[in-house]
Amino acid sequence: MLVGTVTLDRPATATSSQVLTGVTAILPRPITAGPLPVWAGQFDLNGNGEMTGSHWIREAGWFLGPVLLTNTHSVGIAHHAAVGWMIDRYPEHYRRHHAWAMPVVGETYDGLVNDICGRHVQESHVLAALDSASAVAPAEGNVGGGAGMQTYDFKGGTGTASRRVRIGSLAGTVGALVQSNFGARADLVVAGVPVGVLYPDGVVDLGDGVAEMGSIIVVVATDLPLSPSQLARVAKRAGLGIGRTGTRGGNGSGDMFLAFSTANATPQPPIGAAQPLVGAVEFLKDHWLDAVYGATVEAVEEAVLNALVAARSVATAKPPGQILHAIDHQRLRSILRAHDRLSR
């Protein structure tokens, strides 16, 4: 899996609003001579959000192309740019035959610290994120699509984590990338400790009657051979991972999860091209899935916490004049130490 990011960070001035937003681009596979789909599964814990392409993933069990994460009002431009990027990379596939591009674009709302209605993400930003995608571990916190997000009323953003899995002679990796923008302060739990209850101050005042406001997109990637139905079940386990951090899945939260496997690289010829009669793939037997489930839950939980601890404080845009604080590392360590979760 390759990841690229573009971050837009412009403080407010007398004549312009604050901009803090961006794009995260995920390429499930490196660019090859022809497009190769990945087997996939998708699950919504709460559907107050958008993830394009998810209908086909649930129907067919695969998708072709990149995954993009951005803010709520930039889904359209991200989708538009990704379609053009796919056509340009694979002109034989799209221009010669009857093939259509359906990239996956997920979103969360960053209007607390970003002029989201200004729609500052442009096609050039999306293309730059796609073109910069690499195997280098991505930065976390205030970067890419997660630049302007909050988590449990602290500054949140982009987070990643992974686990190695060995099942008999089979070895692989389960990785998670989150765009974390969810949760109410009182619900935050870290290592079983009710940190949010013990750290109640510094919450942005949104006004009376405003409940939890945000969402989370989770992308789980593995090189283990899993079927679409197994990947849908893996995607569900992302909910257990974020649940470990305390969330109840708020009404206003879009909690959408995608899981894909890069194993079984099987071309999907477009309509009009020669089609094989049958295909052959290998999948892990269901009996052995618990190891993958465990790795998924742990990686997703850690990715959320990494987004929290990597973030840095920023000024709010709406309402103006407040600070969305990053979690204080020393205070967090002190709370965990008092509950015997740290040795020093």
pLDDT digits (tens, 9 = 90+) for 181-219: 999 999 999 999 999 999 999 999 987 666 677 899 999
Specify the CATH class of 2-338 in words: alpha beta
Domain ranges, ordered by start, for the chain: 2-338
Q: Could you report the per-residue pLDDT of 65-93, keeping only the tens digit for each?
A: 999 999 999 999 999 999 999 999 999 88
Catalytic residue among 74, 162, 227, 253: 253
Q: Could you report the per-residue pLDDT of 161-190, keeping only the tens digit for each?
A: 999 999 999 999 999 999 999 999 999 999
Output the pTM of the full model.
0.96
CA atoms of 83 and 78, how far apart (whole Å): 9
Query: pLDDT band at residue 339, thresholds of 50, 70 and 90?
Result: very high
Q: Could you tell me the CA-to-CA distances from 94 to 20, 26, 60 in Å, in that order? A: 35, 21, 20
Q: Is 134 assigned a catalytic role? A: no
Single-letter amino acid, residue 105: V
Catalytic residue among 255, 328, 340, 343: 255
Q: Is 215 assigned a catalytic role? A: yes
Catalytic residue among 54, 215, 227, 261: 215
Mean pLDDT score of the chain, rounded to an integer?
Answer: 95
| Higher per-residue confidence, 266 vs 315 | 315
Q: Is 132 assigned a catalytic role? A: no
Q: Which two tokens stand for residue 299?
A: 């990686």
User: Which residues, in sequence order, are CB contacts of 226 under 8 Å at separation 6+?
Assistant: 39, 234, 259, 261, 263, 283, 284, 292
271 and 67 Cβ atoms separated by less than 8 Å: no
Single-letter amino acid, residue 106: G
Q: Which two tokens stand for residue 214?
A: 């945000």
Q: Which two tokens stand for residue 38?
A: 């990945």
Q: Is the peptide bond before 28 cis (omega within 30 degrees of 0)?
A: no
Q: Could you report the per-residue pLDDT of 247-296, keeping only the tens digit for each?
A: 999 898 999 999 999 999 988 877 777 778 888 889 999 999 999 999 99
Average pLDDT (336-344) is 87
- How far does Cα 13 stand from its chain's mean position? 31
Average pLDDT (129-157) is 97
CA atoms of 152 and 2, how far apart (whole Å): 28
Q: Which two tokens stand for residue 83?
A: 């379609």
259 and 234 Cβ atoms separated by less than 8 Å: yes
What is residue 61's three-state secondary structure?
Answer: coil
Q: What's the pLDDT score for residue 196?
A: 98
Query: pLDDT band at residue 331, thresholds of 50, 70 and 90?
Result: very high
Q: What's the pLDDT score for residue 270?
A: 76
